[in-house]
Structure 1
Amino acid sequence: MKRRTVADVMTAKVVTVTAKTPFKAIAETLIAGGISAVPVIDDDGHVLGVVSEADLLAKEEFKELYYDDAYRPPLRARIRHAMGSEGTGSYKALGETAGELMTASAHVTTPGSPVVAAARLMDRYGVKRLPVVDADGRLVGIVSRRDLLKVFLRADEEIRTLVLAGIPTSAMWTDPKGLDVEVTEGVVTLNGIVSRHTEAIAAVRMAESIDGVVAVHDELTWKHDDVIEVPMWGGA
């Protein structure tokens, strides 16, 4: 079964800046677009880095010029501003262009990457979006946390159809017509009788692998328990 990839959910039209884009133009771009970061590209479209609101906060005038006195940046941004990004906080405070302010070696993903892989990359590095690049490193899109949530917006009936389609009609281990599949708000409930315990396990795992499934409730029963249990302390 085809898993959804970054290409299925990414935004192809990306707001970008170049290494020479000045500080104020970057700030205006972020504010106007309602975004917190923007890719920095070269003349050929290769991603050089990402400049974010946190990078701009190294300059206090970013807050003074574009927000009122009540503005409080996100906690992550405040921490990065206080500590500096990899010890470069004082350097960025002197930066005047995207090339001087950006975080180089930006974390990126590719169009063919599974959505779950992109989500894990965001979580690992604490970023909200990833530039999407082709095989040559050229920017082709951007994917955000909000984009990744789109995989959970599949209609319940579509999910049910995919679950049923994932059961091989030629397989001897169960009769798809006798399998009761219910889907409510992305939660799949499997009911029915299969021949073997391992077949029930396979059905649950198959359902769990479908993009858009929030959880699977296993209410299957089986005629024969063929799951081999290994003794805790081994056997003679």
Structure 2
Amino acid sequence: MKVQDLMTRDVKCVKANDAIQAAAQIMAQVNCGSVPVCDENSKVIGMVTDRDIVVQAVAKGSTNATIRDCMTGQVVTCRPETDAHEAADLMAQHQIRRLPVVDASGKLCGICSIGDLATVDIHINEAGDALSKISVPTSGPNAIH
């Protein structure tokens, strides 16, 4: 099965110069915890999570921060024709729960989450395996060395 068969389409995104409130409003509206950051050509340039906003802005008292101040700039993506098994492997390898799906020019065309993979019976074990690898701390007192 391909990512294009599982992904969420019509994904809302924010721009790097938008206020953090824009991302928070999208997250509240669509009940999600992350939003892709796109340039003026809809190319993915980052991701911002609810945790990014809290840790990088709100906790520091910076309620006027922009998305650029909080976003992760290096984004792992996949293509619509990527095999779902490969998408699960990418999520596990990079310890991420959401994978922006981009076309050949880098434009956002969807997002595939660990939950999307788990909804397909043949991928339940892979999704669970990916989630367990994503959830392993890489630093701190509970890190596995």
Same fold (TM over 0.5): yes
In structure 1, how many angstroms separate the alpha carbons of the residues matched to 2:104 and 2:3? 14
Q: What secondary structure is seen at the aligned counterpart in 1 of 2:99?
A: strand
For the pair 1:115 / 2:84, whether they are aligned, the reply is yes
Q: List gaps (5 residues or longer) in structure 2.
A: 126-145
For 1:105, give the aligned amino acid.
Answer: Q
In structure 2, how many angstroms separate the alpha carbons of the residues matched to 1:119 and 1:150? 13
The equivalent of 1:127 in structure 2 is 96
Structure 1 residues 141, 61: closer, same or farther in 2, change over 3 A? same
Q: Is the 8 A contact 2:44 2:107 kept in 1?
A: yes
% identity of equivalent residues: 32
The equivalent of 1:29 in structure 2 is 26
Q: Is the 8 A contact 2:85 2:123 kept in 1?
A: no
Structure 1 residues 60, 139: closer, same or farther in 2, change over 3 A? closer
For the pair 1:57 / 2:54, whether they are aligned, the reply is yes
Q: What secondary structure is seen at the aligned counterpart in 2 of 1:131?
A: strand
For 2:14, give the aligned amino acid.
Answer: V
The TM-score with structure 2 as length reference comes to 0.76
Q: Is the 8 A contact 1:46 1:138 kept in 2?
A: yes
The equivalent of 2:111 in structure 1 is 142
In structure 2, how many angstroms separate the alpha carbons of the residues matched to 1:46 and 1:12? 15
Q: Is the 8 A contact 1:95 1:101 kept in 2?
A: no
Select the structure of larger CA radius of gyration.
1
For the pair 1:13 / 2:10, whether they are aligned, the reply is yes
Instruction: Judging by fraction of residues, say which structure has more strand.
Output: 1
Q: List gaps (5 residues or longer) in structure 1.
A: 63-89, 153-210, 215-236
The equivalent of 1:43 in structure 2 is 40
Q: What secondary structure is seen at the aligned counterpart in 2 of 1:18?
A: coil
Structure 1 residues 61, 118: closer, same or farther in 2, change over 3 A? same
What are the superposed Cα offsets for residues 17-75 of structure 1, whole Å, 9 maximum, x if unpaired?
1112101222222122211110000111100100111211225647xxxxxxxxxxxxx
For 2:116, give the aligned amino acid.
Answer: D
Post-superposition shift, 1:151? 2.3
